[in-house]
Amino acid sequence: MATFVMQAMGCDVAALNTVQFSNHTGYKQIKGTRFPAEHIRELYVGLQQSYLTDFDALLSGYAPSAEVVEAVGEIGQDLKKRAEGKPGSFFWVLDPVMGDQGRLYVKEDTVPAFKKIIGHADLILPNQFEAEILSGIKIDSLSTLTKAITHLHRTHSIPHILITSIRLPDTPTSTRPVLTVIGSTSKTDSTPRLFKIVIPALDCFFSGTGDLFAALMLVRLREASAQARLLETQSWMPDDKIPGPDLPLAKAAEKVLASMHVVLEKTMISRREEMRRKGYDDEKSHLAPGKDVDITQGEGKKWYLAETKAAEVKLVRNVRDLWEPEMRFKAEGVEI
Provide the mean pLDDT of the chain.
93
CA pair distance 153, 164, nearest whole angstrom: 17
The verdict on residue 289 lying in a domain is no
Quote the pLDDT of residue 97: 97
Structure pTM? 0.93
DSSP string, 188-246: TTS---EEEEEEEPPSS--SSHHHHHHHHHHHHHHHHHHHTT-TTSGGGPPPTTS-GGG
The verdict on residue 41 lying in a domain is yes
Q: How far is CA 237 from the centre of its chain?
A: 20
Query: With contact defined as beta carbons under 8 Å apart, do 329 and 48 qualify?
Result: no
CA pair distance 160, 93, nearest whole angstrom: 9
Quote the pLDDT of residue 290: 46
Q: What is the mean pLDDT of residues 237-244?
A: 98
Query: With contact defined as beta carbons under 8 Å apart, do 181 and 196 qualify?
Result: yes
The verdict on residue 150 lying in a domain is yes
User: How many domains does the structure of the chain reveal?
Assistant: 1
Ranking 55-64, 284-293, 308-317 by mean pLDDT, the lowest is 284-293
Residues of the domain holding 222? 2-267+313-333
128-135 and 110-117 are packed helices; what angle lies between their axes, rounded to 10 degrees? 80
DSSP string, 239-291: PTTS-GGGSHHHHHHHHHHHHHHHHHHHHHHHHHHHHHHTT--GGG-S-STT-
User: What digits encode the pLDDT tens for the residues 30-78?
Assistant: 999 999 999 999 999 999 999 999 999 999 999 999 999 999 999 999 9
**At a CB cut-off of 8 Å and minimum separation 6, what does 100 contact?**
127, 129, 130, 165
Task: Output the CA–CA distances (angstroms, integers) from residue 288 to 211, 222, 292, in the order listed.
Answer: 20, 34, 9
3-class DSSP assignment, residue 59: strand
The verdict on residue 108 lying in a domain is yes
* CB atoms inside a 10 Å sphere around CB 65: 18
Query: With contact defined as beta carbons under 8 Å apart, do 122 and 91 qualify?
Result: yes
User: What digits encode the pLDDT tens for the residues 102-113?
Assistant: 999 999 999 999
User: What digits encode the pLDDT tens for the residues 206-226?
Assistant: 888 999 999 999 999 999 999
Measured torsion, CA atoms of residues 246, 59, 3, 96, in degrees rounded to the nearest 10 = -100
pLDDT higher for 304 or 71? 71
Where residue 102 sits, what CATH number does that domain have? Answer: 3.40.1190.20
Residue 171 has pLDDT above 60, yes or no: no
The verdict on residue 298 lying in a domain is no
Pair type for strands 178-185 and 160-166: antiparallel
Quote the pLDDT of residue 191: 97
